[in-house]
Amino acid sequence: MDGNFNKNDLERVVSADKAHVWHHLTQHKPFETGEPRIIIEGKDMRVWDQNGKEYIDAVSGAVWTVNVGYGRKRIADAVHAQLMKVCYFANSGGSIPGALFAEKLIDKMPGMSRVYYTNSGSEANEKAFKMVRQIAHKKYGGKKTKILYRDRDYHGSTLAAMSAGGQDERNMQYGPFAPDFVRVPHCMEYRKHELGLEHLSGREFGIAAANQIEDVILREGPETVGSLCLEPVTAGGGVIEAPEGYWERVQEICKQYNVLLHIDEVVCGVGRTGTEWFGYQHYGIKPDFVTMAKGVASGYAAIACMVTTEEVFAHFKDNPDDKLNHFRDISTFGGCTAGPAAALENMAIIEEENLLENCTVMGERMMGNLQALMEKHEIIGDVRGKGLFLGAELVTNRETKEPADEKDVMAVVADCGAQGVIIGAANRSIPGRNNVLCFSPALIATAEDIDAITDAVDKALTKVFG
Ligand code: PMP
């Protein structure tokens, strides 16, 4: 940590924060006596707080974002140069980095064609929802407006994105929600008893879980269903990879009932799952919409993208004399040039440093370490995930799979923090039972980093659960 800030400056920062900042997802009462953690510097996998305490960041900025790690000078330089050239012009026109990043991104996404720039994952998803609605009005006489989303998935914090929210704890007290969003069941093998599918396993289970989506389409009427929005690997709902057979069957169902497939890559996108650039590319999925945000520029600038096929795009450019016949949407800051300038460098770093491969190798190492912890600690009921996107579900009873108490789970998170390792917890599906420990270190993680993270978890589990 450099010495740019002296102790007095930092005390002022802490008191200004305590007096005026409203933190996300935070109950502020404890700050009347304590103080929030303020991260004042980051380098590679490590961050430092206001007290000079060093942490390994095992969650890439707390929410799966800083994929290439902190302190990347070449991203900062590229953003600086671009801002000095031209910082902004509304995206109804174009920009140099906007054009070049779109070209580079589409090169990584065979079958996809058009990039719509916006600011956040929530907005990117909303853009796709609006397109589905507009297609319904243009092509299907106002039918096919329904958007299906899955139990345990999350698509954002704005009200329509929350209407597609499958995590009940997040939605409580914020209703009523937008109409024509319909929930389909989750596909989690570990909790297949909730689906009445405990007698099935492997591929048979995957197909049966996907068939539950078909049941919903038939119940609602296929002529009313416009799209199906899914995370390729569910993040905040508990780090859930779909079972074998699932995606193949989902794709067939979408084709059969003329339902557009929207894949939310906000967490998985841009390398997080290893080997492939996007989560959906592991499973042979052919989406109509792909949305992404967090890893696109690793948090160096705010940027999100909604990517479509040329077929979707074509709906909005036929009949040019009809004034209503284009996508009538704008996102002011979708015209910021810092986003695509940072995203271009971010992608170049991942390529040049072979981070997709490193993610796979380090993900396997971390999975091995977590499996060893599961043998040692009865409280771990399941470990799962893909690449450097992993979770460990804590249960008080491996037979009944009763989720561990959130207070105990948060005690593990806090103890890791005290040891200098920042980890997270997820599963907002069951209020008060946020019972999945989450790990998503930067794609640059080394074997030493991974082992240090799982060693801290081991110690914390012993301390909290014995
Ligand atoms: N989709 C998924 C899968 C997410 O995890 C998130 C954010 N955690 C979002 C969408 C929303 O992104 P944002 O917070 O940038 O609006």
What confidence score (pLDDT) does residue 2 get?
53
Residue position matching structure tokens 């899914």: 230
Write out the residue range of the structural domain in which residue 415 sits.
37-66+354-465
In a domain, 343, yes or no: yes
Of the residues 334, 352, 370, the one at which a domain ends: 352
Nearest CA residue ID for atom 12, ligand 1:
121
Q: Is the pLDDT of residue 462 over 90?
A: yes
Three-class DSSP category at 197 = coil
CA distance 112 to 115: 9
pLDDT digits (tens, 9 = 90+) for 201-211: 999 999 999 99
Which of the listed residues 294, 296, 333 should we mutate to test ligand 1's pocket, taking the one with most ligand atoms within 8 A of CB? 294
| Ligand 1 mean position, distance from CA 16 (Å) | 28
Which of the listed residues 24, 264, 266, 298 should we mutate to test ligand 1's pocket, taking the one with most ligand atoms within 8 A of CB? 266
Which of the listed residues 267, 278, 427, 429 should we mutate to test ligand 1's pocket, taking the one with most ligand atoms within 8 A of CB? 267
In a domain, 103, yes or no: yes
Q: What 8-state DSSP symbol labels residue 277?
A: S
| Ligand 1 mean position, distance from CA 64 (Å) | 10
Q: What angle, 0 to 180 degrees and rounded to 10, lies between the N-to-C axes of helices 355-376 and 338-352? A: 80
What confidence score (pLDDT) does residue 4 get?
66
pLDDT digits (tens, 9 = 90+) for 111-130: 999 999 999 999 999 999 99
The DSSP-derived string for 396-427 is EETTTTEEPPHHHHHHHHHHHHHTTEE-EEE-
In this structure, the answer to whether residues 234 and 175 fall within a common structural domain is yes
Of the residues 317, 352, 387, the one at which a domain ends: 352
In a domain, 8, yes or no: no
In this structure, the answer to whether residues 52 and 184 fall within a common structural domain is no
What confidence score (pLDDT) does residue 285 get?
97
Question: Dihedral (C-alpha) 64, 70, 74, 79: value to the nearest 10 degrees?
Answer: 60
Q: What is the CATH number of the domain that holds 406?
A: 3.90.1150.10
CA distance 150 to 250: 12
In a domain, 434, yes or no: yes
The token pair that represents 408 in the structure block: 């105990």
CA distance 398 to 379: 8
Is the CB of 276 inside a 6 Å radius of any atom of ligand 1?
Answer: no
In this structure, the answer to whether residues 329 and 207 fall within a common structural domain is yes
Residue position matching structure tokens 């450097």: 388
Entry pTM: 0.97
What confidence score (pLDDT) does residue 362 get?
98
What share of the chain has pLDDT > 70, as a percent?
99
Q: Is the pLDDT of residue 456 over 80?
A: yes
In this structure, the answer to whether residues 338 and 414 fall within a common structural domain is no
Q: Give the number of other Cβ atoms within 10 Å of residue 13's Cβ.
A: 14
What's the angle, vertex CA 461, arms to CA 458 and CA 466, rounded to 5? Answer: 115
What confidence score (pLDDT) does residue 320 get?
83
What confidence score (pLDDT) does residue 318 get?
84
In this structure, the answer to whether residues 416 and 321 fall within a common structural domain is no
In this structure, the answer to whether residues 410 and 446 fall within a common structural domain is yes
Of the residues 352, 386, 408, the one at which a domain ends: 352
pLDDT digits (tens, 9 = 90+) for 158-168: 999 999 999 99
Minimal CA–CA distance to 185: which of 155, 220, 156, 215? 215
State the ipTM, two decimals.
0.99
In this structure, the answer to whether residues 130 and 260 fall within a common structural domain is yes
Q: How many domains does the chain have?
A: 2
Which whole number is the average pLDDT over 251-272? 98
What confidence score (pLDDT) does residue 3 get?
55
Q: Which residues, 6 or more positions from 84, have their beta carbon under 8 angstroms from its beta carbon?
A: none
**Cβ atoms of 229 and 262 closer than 8 Å:** yes
In this structure, the answer to whether residues 374 and 385 fall within a common structural domain is yes
In this structure, the answer to whether residues 248 and 204 fall within a common structural domain is yes
Confidence band of 322 (pLDDT split at 50, 70, 90)? confident
Which of the listed residues 117, 154, 440 should we mutate to test ligand 1's pocket, taking the one with most ligand atoms within 8 A of CB? 154
What confidence score (pLDDT) does residue 191 get?
96
In a domain, 274, yes or no: yes
Q: Is the pLDDT of residue 284 over 80?
A: yes
**Cβ atoms of 325 and 283 closer than 8 Å:** no
What confidence score (pLDDT) does residue 428 get?
76
Three-class DSSP category at 132 = helix
Amino acid residing at 38: I
What confidence score (pLDDT) does residue 323 get?
86
Return contacts of 243-246, CB within 8 angstroms, 24+ apart: 243/187, 243/189, 243/202, 243/203, 243/205, 243/206, 243/209, 244/202, 244/203, 244/206, 245/202, 245/203, 245/204, 245/205, 245/206, 245/207, 245/210, 246/187, 246/206, 246/207, 246/209, 246/210
Is the CB of 267 inside a 6 Å radius of any atom of ligand 1?
Answer: yes
Which whole number is the average pLDDT over 383-404? 97
Q: Is the pLDDT of residue 1 over 70?
A: no
In a domain, 154, yes or no: yes
| Ligand 1 mean position, distance from CA 100 (Å) | 25
Q: What is the CATH number of the domain that holds 94?
A: 3.40.640.10
In this structure, the answer to whether residues 216 and 347 fall within a common structural domain is yes
Three-class DSSP category at 10 = helix
What confidence score (pLDDT) does residue 430 get?
75
pLDDT digits (tens, 9 = 90+) for 126-144: 999 999 999 999 999 999 9
What confidence score (pLDDT) does residue 266 get?
98
Is the CB of 346 inside a 6 Å radius of any atom of ligand 1?
Answer: no
Which whole number is the average pLDDT over 9-24? 94
Query: For ligand 1, what atom is nearest to the CA of residue 265?
Result: 3
| Ligand 1 mean position, distance from CA 154 (Å) | 7
In this structure, the answer to whether residues 213 and 320 fall within a common structural domain is yes
Is the link from the previous residue into 403 a cis peptide, with omega within 30 of 0?
no
Which whole number is the average pLDDT over 437-452? 98
pLDDT digits (tens, 9 = 90+) for 196-244: 999 999 999 999 999 999 999 999 999 999 999 999 999 999 999 999 9
In a domain, 10, yes or no: no
In this structure, the answer to whether residues 213 and 233 fall within a common structural domain is yes
Which whole number is the average pLDDT over 421-436? 88
Which whole number is the average pLDDT over 27-46? 94
In a domain, 12, yes or no: no
Amino acid residing at 32: E
